[in-house]
Amino acid sequence: MIFYFSLGILVFVWGASLWRRFFDEGLRNTNLVRIYEYLIAKLSFLRNLRSRAGTVSERSEDERGEEQASSPRWGERSGLREKKILLFLFLFSIFLIFLLLLYQGFGQYEFWRKSEISKFLLPPYQSWVYFIGYVGWRTVAPYLVSLSAGILFFFTARELNRIYGECFFYPEELYFGMISLFLAGHPGWLFYSVLIIIIYLAIHLISLLITHYSLQRLSLYYLWLPTAIFVIIIQKWLQTLPFWQALKF
């Protein structure tokens, strides 16, 4: 069940980001942004006139230009809104996944309770500590690890981006990576991290071999989410590998 929900969340975020990216680029290629900014500046100007209780004061073109320059740009507002949406989706993913893990834990309890053998692992034969420890270690702990990895990536990448003048990631990429690492689970997030690095280096190598030009900046904007989807899809195969078995809880 978690498999399908994780895929659903990633596909939704991926599709929404592609749609938003396409729509944003479309606006930038027209005059709609200029019209939007002009209307915002005019509305702001009219609100200021009304707040003066009908007093009329003529304003110079320079003052109007300063007011328009100080009004928030469409891109800034849109970027802030997108960050809030991605943060909400990340928090919603946490809530949904751990709610499903709680449901799985209840299902495990019912399965043991109905078994003539495993019922002795439950109260009153055993304390609740044993059952909670078993379920927590086998189901909850892997996602706590991947959640920690995602949060660590977000803050580390954001700090590096700030230090080096935003040259590594677009702001949305931090959220894409954090959501992807979390939903990949453990040890899926390790395979995901390795695959992302391999893809990044491969693109650089191909660019160098074909164009004889090393890319100065390479964005994985369109690869964070589909790579996570790919890793989750092949997890059933990965689970048969000895390396996976050695890493899982």
Please tell me the predicted confidence (pLDDT) of residue 190.
Answer: 95
Q: Which two tokens stand for residue 135?
A: 């379920």
Beta-carbon contacts of residue 94 (< 8 Å; ≥ 6 apart): 147, 182
The answer to whether the peptide bond before residue 187 is cis (omega within 30 degrees of 0) is: yes
> Tens digits of per-residue pLDDT, 79-93?
677 888 899 999 999
Cβ–Cβ < 8 Å for 213, 207: yes
The dihedral built from the CA positions of residue 225, 227, 231 and 233, taken in this order, carries a sign that is positive
DSSP string, 67-78: HHHHSPPHHHHH
Which of 128-132, 137-141, 202-206 shows the highest mean pLDDT? 137-141
Please tell me the predicted confidence (pLDDT) of residue 29.
Answer: 40
Helix (H), strand (E), coil (C) string for 218-229? CCCCCCHHHHHH
Q: Where is average pLDDT lowest: 21-35, 40-54, 122-136?
A: 21-35
Q: Which two tokens stand for residue 75?
A: 């891109």
Q: Which two tokens stand for residue 61?
A: 């073109």
Cβ–Cβ < 8 Å for 13, 89: yes
Does 63 have pLDDT greater than 70? no
pLDDT class of 35 with cuts at 50, 70, 90 = very low
Per DSSP, 118 falls in state: G
Residue among 153, 143, 238 at smallest CA distance from 193 = 153
Please tell me the predicted confidence (pLDDT) of residue 62.
Answer: 47
Please tell me which residue, 25 or 114, carries the higher pLDDT value: 114
Please tell me the predicted confidence (pLDDT) of residue 183.
Answer: 96
pLDDT class of 96 with cuts at 50, 70, 90 = very high
Q: Which two tokens stand for residue 104?
A: 């799985």
What is the pTM for the complete model shown? 0.76
